[in-house]
Chain A
Amino acid sequence: MGLYNIFAVAGSGMSAQSVRLNTVASNLANADAAAGSPEDVYRARQVVFQAVMDGAIGGAEGGGVPVEVVGIRESQAPPRKAYEPNSPLADAEGYVYYANVNPVEQMANMISASRSYQSDVAVMNTARQLMERTLQLGRQ
């Protein structure tokens, strides 16, 4: 039955959005982390989504297409430098490196992820209601 596939598709969407929310939480928690060199500092992470086309549920034509997280990528933007010669983490020139996390961007990301999560939950609820109604077909 076609409606069963919707659970797998919406479930994959919910799982992917929760991974995205996890990375947002990590980014915000480490927004002020400092390090002594550009290699050690925390870099903002971003998830990479991909649609699973070849394994489409329910057949090739018109089947459900779930989404999966293929990887978590670290941002390559340069970290923020601050001149603090008295800090114990300062390097030879007196610079301390901070994580390149933009809080505004992370909040927007969080809002978008929670909206997508909510719409997946609504899809799942509707599919469940329709299937329950189908099971009651013909009863008095």
Chain B
Amino acid sequence: MAISFDQSIAVHVRALAVTERRAELLASNLANADTPGYKARDIDFRAALEAAGGQQGLALERSDPGHLPAASGGHGSMSVEYRVPTQPSLDGNTVDTHLEQARFAENALRYEAALTFIGGRIRGLRQAIKGQ
């Protein structure tokens, strides 16, 4: 019975990848807050996380070696969508700076949470190995 990293922290590693992508998009939105004609974009976090193999928190159980593992979704599963503008603007720019800042802060918090969970798992496994 081998220790499998994949089963214990797969969802957090996936959340890390999605929050990274999302952080790039939100940073672009903030940098282009004054660009005429720029449309704000974002990733639907929950949909992107579920598009990966399995639902949130549940890993695919394989009771037989012949069972195929769940497909780990590639980068194509993260769909970039346009944000619905909150107020009309003269130059076609749909970035609401305060909204984007709040979303960016929330995204950074998700990233730190995923890091904390992964770090906790690693430390727990290390303790189990050392026997302390």
- Which A residues fall within an 8 A CB radius of B? 1-3, 5-6, 9-10, 12-13, 16-17, 20, 49-51, 57-59, 61-67, 112-113, 115-116, 119-120, 122-123, 126-127, 129-130, 133-134, 137-138, 140
Knowing A2-B20, A137-B118, say if A123 contacts B32 (CB, 8 Å). no
A65: chain B residues at CB < 8 Å are 28, 31-32, 38
Contact, CB under 8 Å: A62 / B24 = yes
Q: Given the complex, which residues of A lie within 8 Å of B126, measured CB to CB?
A: 138
Indicate which residue in A50, A58, A113 contacts B35 across the interface (CB closer than 8 Å): A50
| Alpha-carbon gap, A133 to B109, bound state (A) | 12
Interface of B is mostly: helix
Residue interface mask B8-51, A partner, CB < 8 A = 1:
00000000010011011111101111111110000100000000
For B78, list chain A residues within 8 Å (CB): 61-62
Check B31–A9 contact: CB distance below 8 A. Answer: yes
Partner of A2, one of B23, B30, B37, B76: B23
Q: Do B20 and A123 touch (CB < 8 A)?
A: no
Is the pair B25, A62 in contact by a Cβ cutoff of 8 Å? yes
Query: Do residues A61 and B31 form an inter-chain contact, with CB atoms below 8 A?
Result: no
Which residues from A are CB-within-8-Å of B115?
130, 133-134, 137
Interface size on B, residues (CB 8 A): 36
Of A12, A20, A58, A134, the residue contacting B24 (CB under 8 A) is: A58
Would A126 and B104 count as touching, CB distance under 8 A? yes
Cα(A84)–Cα(B52), bound, Å: 75
Contact B27 A127 (CB under 8 A): yes
A66 touches B28 (CB 8 A): yes
Per the bound structure, the CA–CA distance linking A12 and B25 in Å amounts to 14
| Known contacts A9-B27, A58-B24, A67-B35; A137/B122 CB under 8 A | yes
CA of A91 to CA of B105, assembled, Å: 59
Task: Say yes or no: is B108 at the interface (Cβ < 8 Å to chain A).
Answer: yes
Roughly how many angstroms separate A87 CA and B126 CA in the complex, as a whole number? Answer: 85
Q: Digit string of B117-130 for contact with A (CB within 8 Å is 1, else 0)?
A: 01100110010000
Complex A-B, nearest 9 residue pairs according to Cβ-Cβ distance, in ascending order = A13-B31, A2-B20, A65-B28, A49-B35, A138-B122, A6-B27, A64-B24, A62-B21, A51-B38
A66 near B31 (CB under 8 angstroms)? Answer: yes
